[in-house]
Amino acid sequence: MKILIWNENEHEMSNALVRRLYPDGIHGALAAAFKDDGSASVSTATLAEPEHGLTEEKLRNTDVLIWWGHKAHGKVSDEIVARVQQRVWEGMGLIVLHSGHFSKIFRVLMGTPCSLSWREAGEVERLWVINRNHPIAAGLPPFIEIQHEEMYGEPFTIPEPMETVFVSWFEGGEVFRSGVTFQRGAGRIFYFRPGHEAYPTYHNLQILQIIRNAAHWAHNPLPAWRTVNDAPNVPHGQAPVPLQVKGPRLHEDGEAGYR
Ligand code: ZN
């Protein structure tokens, strides 16, 4: 399983607190989740690299993409967002973390605003496993407590998820659907809430275990879905049951059609 961890890597460059928490970048901390996982090979990419490190070739050789972004969502090029979306449709898994709820790729895949309420007050977050038999929750206790996290509160304007694996409660009283799954085309998508850059959340071994579980869940080894350019006309003589044309027609047998 080839995992690519993408991080905008801007807070680490501009803020001493974040750099102290994540000297190897958030992508470096996330990579540690897989260091004892013999079935995973991990690479990382950041916004500053050519094509944001998300070249056609790199994405073709990626089974699961993990995404952390926050202040630089607008700097991600639309062309590369479309490229990532195409790979998700084809079957690449996508794990979107924390402030990635407002990333272009997540919003375009969801088709909804993906907005929420929030507060940065170092609150306790109690992350409840509400779907204990789900592979993403494998090996976890009934809940995980994170001592300091940013609050994200409902309503979270996403489409109704395929599955809800985690719900968070925060010290200030709000709740949030913190771990939710979707499928787009052949691609499995997991959104996972924790991971504010001002706190050491990605050094928490239980959080890393969830991200590792999610990567295995999102890995789809089956053949890719058809692309938009693979939409063939089937002439009437080649139908599974060959038939005569009835009524008027605008298209020729075998023509490409419109896109
Ligand atoms: Zn945050």
Q: Are 41 and 3 in contact (CB under 8 A)?
A: yes
Cα(73) to ligand 1 centroid in Å equals: 13
Determine, yes or no, domain membership for 57. yes
Is 120 part of any domain?
no
Provide the pLDDT for residue 259: 83
Distance 133 CA to ligand 1 centre (A): 29
Give me ligand 1 centre to Cα 242, in Å: 59
Residue 126 alpha carbon to ligand 1 centre in Å: 16
What pLDDT is attached to residue 225? 83
Does 54 map to a domain? yes
Distances, alpha carbon 21 to alpha carbons 14, 130, 197, 232, 245, in Å: 13, 30, 8, 52, 68
| Cα–Cα distance for residue pair 234/145, rounded to 1 Å | 56
Q: Quote the number of domains for the chain.
A: 1
Q: Which two tokens stand for residue 15?
A: 């803020």
pTM value? Answer: 0.94
Q: How much distance in Å is there from the Cα of 97 to the middle of ligand 1?
A: 10
Q: How many CA atoms lie within 13 A of 159 on its CB side?
A: 16
Domain holding 92: CATH number? Answer: 3.40.50.880
Q: Are 173 and 159 in contact (CB under 8 A)?
A: no
Q: Is the dihedral of CA 110, 217, 9, 196 positive or negative?
A: positive
Q: Show the tokens assigned to 144.
A: 């995980």
Residue with tokens 């850059």: 197
Tell me if 87 is assigned to some domain: yes
In a domain, 214, yes or no: yes
Q: How far is the CA of 19 from the centre of ligand 1 (A)?
A: 15
Q: How far is the CA of 98 from the centre of ligand 1 (A)?
A: 6
Q: How far is the CA of 245 from the centre of ligand 1 (A)?
A: 59
Ligand 1 centroid distance, CA of 90 (Å): 30
Residue 206 is part of which domain span? 2-110+179-218
246 lies in some domain = no
Residue 31 C-alpha to ligand 1 middle, in angstroms?
Answer: 19
**Local confidence pLDDT in tens for the 259 residues of the chain:** 999 999 999 999 999 999 999 999 999 999 999 999 999 999 999 999 999 999 999 999 999 999 999 999 999 999 999 999 999 999 999 999 999 999 999 999 999 999 999 999 999 999 999 999 999 999 999 999 999 999 999 999 999 999 999 999 999 999 999 999 999 999 999 999 999 999 999 999 999 999 999 999 999 999 888 877 888 999 999 999 999 999 999 999 999 988 8
Q: Is residue 228 part of a domain?
A: no
Residue 127 within any structural domain of the chain: no
| Nearest to 124, CA basis, from 82, 55, 90, 174 | 174
Cis peptide bond prior to 155, omega within 30° of 0: yes
- Per the CB < 8 A criterion, the answer to whether 96 and 103 are in contact is yes
